Amino acid sequence: MQQEQPPYHFETQKLVSHLYRQWYGKMVTSLARYFGLQQLELAEDIVQEAFESAIKQWGQKGVPDQPVNWLFKVCKNKAINAVRKKRFEPLPAESFLNTREEIKLETLFLDNEIEDSQLRMIVACCHPAFSVKNQLIFVLRHVAGLTVRQIARGLLMTEEAVAKSIVRSKQLIREKNLSFPDPDYLKVKENLHELHLIIYLLFNEGYSSTDGDSIIREELCFEAIRLIKLVTNNEKLKTADSLALFSLFLLHAARFPAREDVEKKLIDLETQDRRLWDQDMIALGQHYFRESIQEKNYSKYQVEAAIAYEHAQAPSFEETDWASICELYEYLLQTDPGAAVYLNWLIALFYSQGPLVAYEKLQELDAKGCLVQNQYYFSLLGKMYMAMDDTTLAASCFRQAIELTTSMPEKKYIERLLATL
C-alpha cells in the first residue's frame, strides 16, 4: 500500500524548489570562497544536503518562520563538521576592499559577502583555459544556480553534454590550480570582455527563450541584470561596456509587461501597448546609456544600447527613427558582421525604406552566404512577401518558419500571421 504523503508535502517541495533556484548559486559561491575554489564539490555537497534536509524536515515539521536563515544555519553547521572531520583549513581570502582577513564563518551569507564571492567566481571562470561555452555553463550552474536540465534546455544541448562540461570545468580548476582572484588583480580588466559576454548571453537566453511555453524567462534576465549591476557597482570593474550592458538590459526589461498577453501569446513590437512599458526602468536605462558614452569607444554593447534607446524613446511604432536604427546596425556590422546583425539590419531597412529595398538586400546577402535560413529569416521573408501582396510565397515562408522554431509562443505568433493571409 502506497504511503500517504504528509500534508503540505507538495507545497513544501514547491517552496524548496523556489529557494533552490534563488539561493543555490549564492550559497555555493560563498562556501567555495570559505573552503577555497579547489573544494567546490564540497561546497556543492553541503548546499545540496541542506536542501535535502529542508524537504525532509519541513515536510514533517512545517516550514520555519525564516526558511532562508534556516538553510544558512544548516550549511554553516555542515561546514564546521567538514572542517572537523576532514581537517579542511579555510583559505585566507582577500576581499575587493584590499583587506587580508581570513573569512570568518559568521560572515558567510551576508549580502556583501555573497556579492563579492559571486563576482570572484565569475572572474575565476574567465581563465583562458575555459571555452566561452564552458564559462557560460559554469556561471549558469554555480552562480545563477540553474539545474543541468535547465541549462541544457536554455542552450539547446543535451543534459549529458552539459554535465560533461561541468565535470571538465572542475578538472580545469584542479589542473590549473585556480582560486578566487586576488583583489589587486588589475589583470581582470583583460578578462572583462569574457565576463561581459557571459552575462550578455545569459540575458539573451532569458529575453528570447528558445524553448518552453513563454518567450521570456524573466528569472534569467533579472539574474543577468543583478550580475551586471554587481560589476558596475565595483569601481575596479566598471567600464563603458558594463554601463552599456546595464543600460541595454534595463531598456529591454522595461518592455517585458507588453511582450506577452495573459495567455502567454507573443506580441510584436509593432502592436505592443507602450503604456505598459516601465517608464522608470527606461529612465534608468537611458541614464546609464548616457554615462556609458562618455567614453566614445562605440563598442558592440554601446551600439546595441543605442538601438534599444531609440526604440524606448519612440512615442509609437510609426514614429520610430528607423533610419537612425539602420545607421546603428550598419556601424555594428563593421565590427560584428554576424547573420543575426544582418537580419536585424534588414528589418530596420524594411521599415525605413520599404519591402522592395529590403528584399533586394536580402537577396544580395543570401548570395554571399551572410544569412542563416532559420525561423527568423523565413518570418522576415514572409513579411516581405506579405507586404508585396504575394500571399502564396508569404504562406510558404511562414510554414517553413513554423517548422524550424522550437519556441511555442513564436510558433503560435507565426501561425497567427499565416492565418491573416
**For 238-251, how does the pLDDT look when each residue is reduced to its tens digit (9 = 90+)?**
889 999 999 999 99
Amino acid, res. 220: L
Rounded (10°) angle between helices 375-387 and 355-367: 140
pLDDT of residue 179: 80
- Entry pTM: 0.78
Share the mean pLDDT of the chain.
Answer: 85
C-alpha pair distances (Å), 192 with each of 93, 278, 332: 21, 30, 20
Write b or e for each residue in 387-420: b if 16 or more Cβ atoms lie within 10 A of its Cβ, otherwise e. eeeeeeebbbbbebbbebbebbbbbbbbeebbee
Grid coordinates representing 184 are 589587486
| 11-15, 28-32, 324-328, 338-342, range with the lowest pLDDT | 11-15
- Residue 226, C-beta contacts closer than 8 angstroms, at least 6 positions apart: none
- Are 205 and 93 contacting, i.e. CB atoms less than 8 angstroms apart? no
- Are 238 and 210 contacting, i.e. CB atoms less than 8 angstroms apart? no
pLDDT of residue 104: 62
pLDDT of residue 4: 47
pLDDT of residue 2: 42
**For 183-217, how does the pLDDT look when each residue is reduced to its tens digit (9 = 90+)?**
555 345 666 777 788 889 889 878 876 555 666 67
3-state secondary structure of 102: strand
Ramachandran region of residue 31, left (φ > 0), alpha (ψ -120 to 50) or beta? alpha
Grid coordinates representing 399 are 510554414
DSSP β-bridge partners for residue 92: 102
Report the half-sphere exposure of 399 (CA within 13 A, side-chain side): 7
**Phi, psi dihedrals of residue 275, rounded to the nearest 5°:** -65, -20
Please say if the pLDDT value at position 356 is more than 70.
yes
C-alpha pair distances (Å), 398 with each of 9, 355, 359, 414, 416: 46, 16, 16, 6, 10
pLDDT of residue 276: 96
Please say if the pLDDT value at position 348 is more than 70.
yes
**For 208-217, how does the pLDDT look when each residue is reduced to its tens digit (9 = 90+)?**
765 556 666 7
**For 224-272, how does the pLDDT look when each residue is reduced to its tens digit (9 = 90+)?**
998 999 889 888 788 899 999 999 999 999 999 999 888 888 899 999 9
Which has more pLDDT, 95 or 80? 80
- Are 154 and 220 contacting, i.e. CB atoms less than 8 angstroms apart? yes
Minimal CA–CA distance to 221: which of 211, 207, 210? Answer: 207
Query: pLDDT band for position 336 (50/70/90)?
Result: confident
Please say if the pLDDT value at position 88 is more than 70.
no
- Are 95 and 116 contacting, i.e. CB atoms less than 8 angstroms apart? yes
Measure the CA–CA gap between 345 and 303, rounded to whole angstroms: 13
Please say if the pLDDT value at position 420 is more than 80.
yes
**For 142-172, how does the pLDDT look when each residue is reduced to its tens digit (9 = 90+)?**
888 888 887 887 676 789 999 999 999 999 8
- What is the total residue count of the chain? 421
Measure the CA–CA gap between 270 and 51, rounded to whole angstroms: 45
pLDDT of residue 314: 96
Measure the CA–CA gap between 240 and 24, rounded to whole angstroms: 31
- Residue 73, C-beta contacts closer than 8 angstroms, at least 6 positions apart: none
